Amino acid sequence: MLGCRQALIISIKDEHREGRAVDIEALANQYSSKTPEDILRLALESFDNVAISFSGAEDVVLVDMASRIQPDVRVFSLDTGRLHPETYRFLDRVRERYPIRFEALSPDAMAVERLVREKGLFSFYQDGHQECCGIRKVGPLRRRLQSLDAWVTGQRKDQSLATRATIAVVERDAAFSTPEHALVKFNPLANWTAAEVWDYIRSNDVPYNELHERGFVSIGCEPCTRAILPYQQEREGRWWWEDAADKECGLHKANVAVRRR
Ligand code: SF4
């Protein structure tokens, strides 16, 4: 006899294969208080065409958890060309430590050349980060997501009251789904706090980015990330010259849209 989880997985696979919409809201309710491992297992077992997005920061816990469920899980990272050397070293340590299928996604070279030719290397300090993030992050991500049915992110509610407080553990990706291609986004760590993430890292001897030892919490590109002070919200170290409600790079821009409604 099938257990509940197996029956659910079979029904999601059937719905997906037959082109019927998966009831994401019901799934989100059903899994809202499950553990990150349970949510991750559901993502990896329900969708054959799924990958984890790894930023090079503390969401490495997802890679560690997933590699115990599916050792050759697909993991991708956005190599913007502007990451800290420490982050590049860390990505390589993770790639060596786990038997994952790791991809570093590069931006379109001509688009980067055009931006730098027209506006220089630090235009984001003058006219905001959206254009540069659009080229270096959103473009490569959109290309990759077009070939996936689901992806897994390390987003957590406690990362930002302004943009992440209401994220669900599983949602339809409002930013990257199209009428022809429904994309599901899993956020297994949505309900975890930073303290729980770090308990996991320490208890399981998970590798971490050495920048965390120097006051960096949320880590992105080198020119757009700085260390924060005690009790600051962790995303205050990102694009610190901009309004808190705009601090999404386009990867999760539906968070900003929801906030503005
Ligand atoms: S975080 Fe900064 S450097 Fe990186 S892609 Fe965005 S604007 Fe460009």
* pLDDT tens per residue across span 68-106: 999 999 999 999 999 999 999 999 999 999 999 999 999
Residue 249 known to be catalytic: yes
Q: Where are the alpha helices (DSSP H) in 52-193?
A: 60-69, 85-97, 109-119, 124-127, 130-133, 139-145
Among candidates 207, 153, 203, 146, which has minimal Cα distance to 177?
146
Range of the domain at 216: 22-260
Average pLDDT over residues 160-179: 87
pLDDT at 261 over 50: no
Q: Which residues line ligand 1 (CB under 6 A)?
A: 80, 82, 124, 129, 132-133, 136-137, 220-221, 223-224, 249
Give the tokens for residue 206: 């998970």
pLDDT at 259 over 70: no
5 is a domain residue: no
pTM: 0.90
- Counted domains in the chain: 1
14 is a domain residue: no
Which neighbouring-strand residues pair with 205? none
- Phi, psi (deg, nearest 5) at residue 52: -100, 135
Taking the C-alpha atoms of residue 203 and residue 209, their distance in angstroms, rounded to an integer, is 16
Per-residue confidence (pLDDT) for residue 244, from 0 to 100: 72
90 is a domain residue: yes
Separation of first and last alpha carbons in the chain: 46
pLDDT band at 18, cuts 50/70/90? confident
The domain that holds 61 is classified in CATH as: 3.40.50.620
For residues 176 and 145, the answer to whether their CB atoms sit within 8 Å is yes
Taking the C-alpha atoms of residue 223 and residue 125, their distance in angstroms, rounded to an integer, is 9
Per-residue confidence (pLDDT) for residue 156, from 0 to 100: 93
Tell me which residue has tokens 């906030």: 259
Q: Which of 132, 133, 224, 249 is catalytic?
A: 249
